[in-house]
């Protein structure tokens, strides 16, 4: 989070933006962020973003939901009060299973959908009222990007590199270029999962007594 030079290139066309991103990435620059009014298809792969794991979380939440509701219905209907209601068999969960399917299904969908959305909001740092008192700078460097403009943000310290980036941006059709020293969170470089685990998990095991040689 050190005070970087940040270069902003404003584009008015998604194809130009995509082309510029590919060009800059192929020259070895990291496109830190792109603000766009709609999802530009292929931009995430061009920027080198990792695939989103939202779908995986949803699956896990769904499984949890199905398990919990099964546990609840088994406890209520079979274990706690095994009452005979309308002659339905209640000796085991399996005997009365067909009647439990609809609720199991709904609970699975409920958990899968809602918990995934909460995860999405959490991971993107979105919450009701964000930026109400902080002003627009808090969330977006240029308000035109929700209308029809596309803003590319590149962080770099080196002035020479900044000039190179500026030239490429101009070549690829940027309508406005601004250089400033805003405090911008730099996007982490993509690392392999193996490396990620190595970096992050090694800390967890620190509490274990070290083996003496």
Partner 1 sequence: MHYKSPMREPLILGNKDLHDITVDIARPIETKANRWWWALFTISFAAMLWLFGCIFYLIGTGVGVWGLNNSVGWAWDITNFVWWVGIGHAGTLISAVLLLFRQKWRLSINRSSEAMTIFAVVQAGLFPLIHMGRIWMAYWIFPLPNQFGSLWVNFNSPLLWDVFAISTYFSVSLVFWYMGLIPDFAMIRDRAINPIAKKVYTFLSFGWSGRAKHWQRHEVISLVLAGLATPLVLSVHSIVSMDFATSVVAGWHTTIFPPYFVAGAIFGGFAMCQTLLLIARKVLDLQDYITIKHMEYMNIIILVTGSIVGCAYLTELFIAWYSGVELEQYAFLDRATGSYWWAYAIMMTCNVISPQLMWFKKLRRNILFTFILALFVHIGMWFERFVIIITLHRGPLPSSWHDYSPTYIEIGTFIGTCGFFLVLFLLYARTFPVIAQAELKTIVKSSSTKYNKNLHYLDKEELVKLNKINKKK
What single DSSP character describes residue 87? Answer: T
The least distance separating partner 1 from the CB of residue 166, rounded to whole angstroms, comes to 21
Closer residue to partner 1, CB minimum distance, 123 or 198: 123
Residue carrying structure tokens 């808090």: 138
196 binds partner 1 (CB under 8 A): no
Placement of tokens 């088994």 in the chain: 74
The contact mask relative to partner 1 for 103-132 (x = CB under 8 A, - = no) is: x-xxx-xx-xxx-xx--xx-xxxxxxxxxx
14 touches partner 1 (CB under 8 A): yes
Interface region with partner 1, contact rule CB under 8 A, candidates 100-108, 161-169, 194-202, 203-211? 100-108
149 close to 37: Cβ distance less than 8 angstroms: yes
- Per-residue contact string for residues 61-90; x = within reach of partner 1 by CB under 8 A: -----------xx--xx--xx-x-xx-x--
What do you get for the CA distance between the two ends of the chain, in Å? Answer: 40
How does 34-64 read in b/e, with b if 16+ C-beta sit within 10 Å?
A: bbbeeebeebeebbeeeeeeeeebbeebbee
**Tokens representing residue 170 in the block:** 């101009």
Whole-angstrom Cα distance, residue 6 to residue 109?
Answer: 43
Q: Does 148 bind partner 1 (CB under 8 A)?
A: yes
> With binding defined as CB under 8 A, does residue 41 bind partner 1?
yes
Q: Quick check: 64 and 45 in contact, CB under 8 A?
A: no
Q: Which is nearer to partner 1, 85 or 197 (CB)?
A: 85
Alpha carbons 81 and 88: distance in angstroms, whole number: 13
Is 137 among the residues that bind partner 1 (CB under 8 A)?
no
Please, what is the minimum distance in Å from the beta carbon of residue 31 to partner 1? 8
Rounded least distance, CB 89 to partner 1, Å: 11
3-state secondary structure of 81: coil
Reading the block at residue 85, the tokens are 């209601």
Cβ neighbours, 10 Å, residue 7: 23
Candidate list 92, 139, 158, 167; residue touching partner 1; CB under 8 A: 139
- Rounded-to-integer distance, Cα 11 and Cα 175, Å: 6
Residues contributing to the site for partner 1 (CB under 8 A): 14-15, 33-41, 43-44, 47, 49, 51-52, 54-55, 58, 72-73, 76-77, 80-81, 83, 85-86, 88, 96, 99-100, 102-103, 105-107, 109-110, 112-114, 116-117, 120-121, 123-132, 136, 138-140, 143-148
């Amino acid at each position: 989070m050190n005070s970087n030079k940040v270069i902003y290139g404003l584009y008015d066309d998604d194809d130009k933006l995509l082309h510029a991103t590919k060009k800059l990435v192929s020259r070895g620059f990291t496109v830190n962020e792109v603000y766009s009014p709609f999802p530009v298809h292929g931009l995430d792969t061009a920027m080198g973003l990792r695939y989103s794991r939202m779908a995986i979380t949803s699956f896990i939440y769904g499984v949890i939901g199905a398990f919990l509701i099964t546990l609840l219905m088994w406890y209520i209907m079979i274990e706690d009060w095994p009452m005979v209601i309308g002659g339905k068999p209640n000796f085991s969960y399996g005997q009365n299973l067909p009647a439990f399917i609809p609720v199991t299904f709904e609970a699975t969908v409920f958990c899968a959908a809602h918990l995934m959305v909460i995860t999405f909001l959490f991971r993107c740092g979105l919450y009701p009222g964000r930026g109400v008192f902080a002003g627009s700078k808090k969330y977006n460097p240029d308000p035109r990007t929700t209308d029809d403009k596309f803003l590319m943000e590149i962080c770099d310290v080196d002035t020479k590199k900044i000039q190179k980036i500026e030239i490429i941006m101009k070549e690829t059709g940027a309508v406005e270029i601004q250089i400033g020293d805003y405090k911008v969170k730099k996007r982490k470089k993509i690392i392999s999962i193996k490396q990620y685990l190595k970096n992050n998990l090694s800390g967890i095991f620190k509490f274990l007594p070290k083996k003496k040689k």
